[in-house]
Structure 1
Amino acid sequence: MLYLLLALSIILLPNALHVSFDAGVPGLNFSNLLFIVLLVVLMFSNGNSGQVPRQKSQLTGPLIAFFVMLVIGFLIAGPSELSDSMTDITRVKNAIFYPLLYFVFRHCKQDLDRTRQLILLTLFIASVAAVEAVYQGVQFGLGEYVEEQRATGPFGDTNMANRAGVFFAMFLPMLAALAVFDKRKIVRVVAVIGCVALAAAILFTYSRQSYLIALLGLLILLMHRSMAAAVLASVLLVATVSYLPTSVLERVEQTRRVDATGEITVDNSTASRLELWEGGYKMWQDNPAGVGLGRFPTYIGKYSEYEGRDAHNAFVLVFAELGLLGLMAMLWLFWRMWKISRMVRSVSPPADAEGYSLALGFRITVFAVALSNVYGSAFFEGLIMASFWMLCGLMERYAVLKAARSAVRAPAPTGPLWPMTRIADRFPLTARTMPGLGVARSMPRLGGPRSAQG
């Protein structure tokens, strides 16, 4: 029952806009209700089929710190003429709600095999969302670029195109890692198909930041394969760029413009971001504790000509709204996400192609999420980040379970403890008078598999 509900959450949360639901309660949407049901079932499920040792979760500290800063930011914001109290409450609720999915999936009571299945299901659902975006892109046509004809998949109208592109770009490295490094043929074939779908979906979102994120992620991945592979891929990309759809080339070309004097400058979108970021810094200088959660659009008109605009940078947004402590909590959170990938790698021996693929793919995915929030602010977009938070919990659980399994399978001790065990075996009376010699036989050998602590 719990496993099916977890799988259903992975399937439905990114597709929540496709589900018609009205609870009749302000602020309660389908995602919230599904989370509540999942949490209740998890709490009343018996046992721990995964046999996970009690160990503090990697993201517990930074998430609690970030939640505290969100609440403080909510209190600092106070009432505003531009939003009612329910809007502010819903904002802080959503900012806290979706990261809680990490805790649910980190402690989901599933064994290693089912945890692996849920990870792969998350990647599969991302690929299905990409297929929907590709279908939308084909329906719009591949001719000239039109702002109102940008694919978004299951994430809403064209205003969500940039964030939809971020979603596809963040999951591309994990499937690409399986395609490149996993040794199972069927896994590699399916991963390649998923990569093609995600890459095509990114193109049809016409999100230039997603183009950059995807290219950097794939380049870093291929560099882990070999420098020659990365160079070859770069050469092939340059050689085939002219074969891309005309609309994609037009969109990329819009990044620069030539003024009346012939000088090449960046487009208005890029230029506005630079001014917004500078305005965010000035905003923090005048308000070191932050202007309050959700108040960046309210204040930015005082520091730039773009009144009512978003920061288009989650780090700048948090810095301006929650102050330096809020930014530090956010950076701490990303650092701990990075450590989860190191946990997976530390419990995956060189012959474990799957563990290596997932560890490397997730590391680049964390990098992609961080980079996406430099040129946008998808961090607070629940539909985009829900799958990522679930993946964080599943990846950490995967690492802890593998460590526990390795500890159970640890061979008999050797090395420096071996002489003592030999003495205990050959002289039983000595072992009785010196119990420590007998205990030594049950200790794990030095240099053996890592413990469950990673």
Structure 2
Amino acid sequence: MFLLILLYLVLTIIRPQDYLPGLENVPLLPAVLGLAFASWMFSRDRTFAAPQFVLLPAFLVVLMLSQATNGWVGGMLDELSRFGPAVAAFFIFAAACTSRKRVVTSMRVFVLCSVVLALHSIQQAQTGVGWTGIPLGEEGRVQYVGIFNDPNDLGLLFVATLPMAFFLARQAGALMKLAWWSGAALMLYGVYLTNSRGAMLAVLVVAGIYIWHKRGLFTAGTLGLVGLVAMQALSSRMTELDAGEESANGRVEAWYEGLHMFLENPVFGVGAGNFTDYNELTAHNSFVLVLAETGFVGYIIWLAFVGYGFWMMLSVMRYRPGATMDAAQASDLVFEKRLALTLLLSLCGLFAAAFFLSRSYMIVLYLIAAMVTGYYVGARRRLPELPSFSLAEGWWRWVPASMGSITALYVLVAILLRTAK
């Protein structure tokens, strides 16, 4: 099961089936996922010990209902075929990542795949075309094939896997440390080549949260301002970081339209995938997209799914043992907290970038969420004093959390629209 889902991960990111002759019509991804799912069905590692295992299938049901309530019953099957693989991959990958060794191995695969895409970006920037046959995009921005044909998606991947590269470098010996540091440098350069403002800001968010954790809020804020100035000096698009700039203003307008779609269809939204039927541009915000397309019901479920991942990692980082630990146990706990911090930073980078992109249904998001969920299930086995999260006890928290976040979005959009005038 584990090897099959890792193969699925490699095929999802590197995507040789999208550019190698003879593989165009071969259903590699569905075949590998089907085999992995069959292995999961008969595996002793199969688990449902986290709220996410209920929330994600529930979100799939809401996606299907959002089509039916908007007059297209046949769209329910379309949503099942479109988002169903992400749900299956989540269940398999989470079950496979309950041991620390497998989490670290999965990080290695994520980083190595990202490095391959970073090398493709460098070749593309130098020669005008990558080995996939894909040329540079508009304004000389790098791009890849398939789900990474948008420079912003490439940037999102690099930012989400960057903390993993730093973690691996810290744990490795001298030679491998150099290799992982080099990989991190390549991904940072890849972010620069994408010229994605969202990805660059996400890098600052990841760095800022790490420094905040280590050195405090004042130091993080000061260095964050320095980093922002440096990025504006490096990137022409960062100098246009203003609500009144044409691209940014278009995004804010899309957020505004998305919030109005929610007001007009508050329960199940306008239907999954239907945002551009009501607005020329997509939402350019993963939170607004879910809210507009699936309504309050879908938004509560999705926000809870996302929120539990952050909550779990913070629980590990704040864990204090109730009894005295020997040297070996103390060392293990330090390692657990480093893993949790790494996954938390990956989540922060992922959702900081996703805040400026419509990537609510992107498979990479759910694969990283699966790593987080699986890790916490395993951590509770190793550290039984960690809290057990249950929807039966805490589901109600996500109602006020959703209402508060929607209010915050309205306030943010109102401020940005007024600033843009």
With the shorter chain as reference, the TM-score category is: 0.7 to 0.9
Compared with structure 1, are the counterparts of its residues 269 and 378 closer, same or farther at alpha carbon in structure 2 (3 Å cutoff)? same
* More divergent stretch after superposition (285-294 vs 343-352): 343-352
Aligned partner of 1:283 in structure 2 is: 261
Q: In structure 2, what residue type is equivalent to 1:167? A: L
**CA distance in 1 between partners of 2:126 and 2:380 (Å):** 46
Contact persistence 2:380–2:386 (CA under 8 A)? yes
Is the partner of 1:378 in helix, strand or coil?
Answer: coil
The answer to whether the 8 A contact 2:202-2:349 is kept is yes
1:60 partnered with 2:60:
no
Once the 2 structures are TM-superposed, how far is the Cα of residue 283 of structure 1 from its aligned partner? Answer: 2.0
Query: What is the CA-CA distance between 1:338 and the residue it aligns to?
Result: 1.1
Runs of at least 5 residues in structure 1 that lack an aligned partner in the other structure: 24-28, 257-264, 301-307, 408-449
Q: Does 1:175 align with 2:157?
A: no
Structure-1 residue corresponding to 2:272: 293
Taking structure 1 as the reference length, what is the TM-score of the superposition? 0.70
Q: Which amino acid aligns with 2:361?
A: F
Alignment CA distance shift 1:350-1:128 (3 Å)? farther
Work out the CA distance in 2 between the residues paired with 1:403 and 1:135. Answer: 44
Among 27, 35, 38, which residue is 2:36 paired with? 38
Alpha-carbon distance in structure 2 between the residues aligned to 1:7 and 1:309: 35
Q: What's 1:273 paired with?
A: 251
Say if 1:165 and 1:210, in contact at 8 Å, map to a contact too: yes
| Residue 142 (structure 2) pairs with residue 151 (structure 1) | yes
Task: Find out whether 1:223 has 2:212 as its counterpart.
Answer: yes
Residue 253 of structure 1 corresponds to which residue in structure 2?
239
Structure 2 residue 328 is the aligned partner of structure 1 residue 351: no
* AA aligned opposite 1:150: R
Alignment deviations for residues 411-439 of structure 1 (CA, whole Å, 9 cap, x no partner): xxxxxxxxxxxxxxxxxxxxxxxxxxxxx
Structure showing greater radius of gyration is 1
Q: TM-score, normalised to structure 2's length?
A: 0.75
State the one-letter code of the partner of 1:137.
A
Contact residue 205 and residue 348 of structure 2 kept, 8 A = no
Structure 2 letter corresponding to 1:14: I
Q: Alpha-carbon deviation of 1:269?
A: 1.1
Distance 2:359 2:226 in 1: 31
Which residue, 351, 356, 360 being the options, matches 2:341? Answer: 360
Contact 2:259 2:288 in 1 (8 A): yes
State the aligned residue count.
368
Deviation at 1:155, TM superposition (A): 4.4
When residues 452 and 251 of structure 1 are mapped into structure 2, their CA distance, relative to the original with a 3 A threshold, is closer
- The 2-side partners of 1:111 and 1:280 are apart by 40
- 1:313-361 Cα offsets, whole Å, 9 max, x none, are 1221221221111111111111111133235544997634432222112
Change (3 A) 1:114 1:380: closer
**Structure-1 residue corresponding to 2:354:** 373
For residues 90-136 of structure 1, give each alpha carbon's deviation from its aligned partner in whole angstroms, at most 9, with x where no partner exists: 45522332133121022238855344323332233223322222322
- Work out the CA distance in 2 between the residues paired with 1:338 and 1:283: 28
Whether the 8 Å contact between 1:254 and 1:267 is mirrored in structure 2 is yes
2-structure distance, mates of 1:150, 1:196: 18
Identity of aligned pairs, percent?
21
Among 262, 282, 304, the alignment partner of 1:310 is: 282
Q: Which SS does the other structure have where 1:169 is aligned?
A: helix
Structure 2 SS opposite 1:201: helix
- When residues 239 and 374 of structure 1 are mapped into structure 2, their CA distance, relative to the original with a 3 A threshold, is closer
Counterpart Cα distance in 2 of 1:96 and 1:38: 14
Work out the CA distance in 1 between the residues paired with 2:270 and 2:102.
44
Q: Is the 8 A contact 1:13 1:31 kept in 2?
A: yes
Q: Larger deviation: 57-66 or 207-216?
A: 57-66
Aligned AA (1:38) = A
Instruction: State the distance in 2 between where 1:153 and 1:296 align.
Output: 25
Could you tell me which residue of structure 2 aligns to residue 438 of structure 1? none
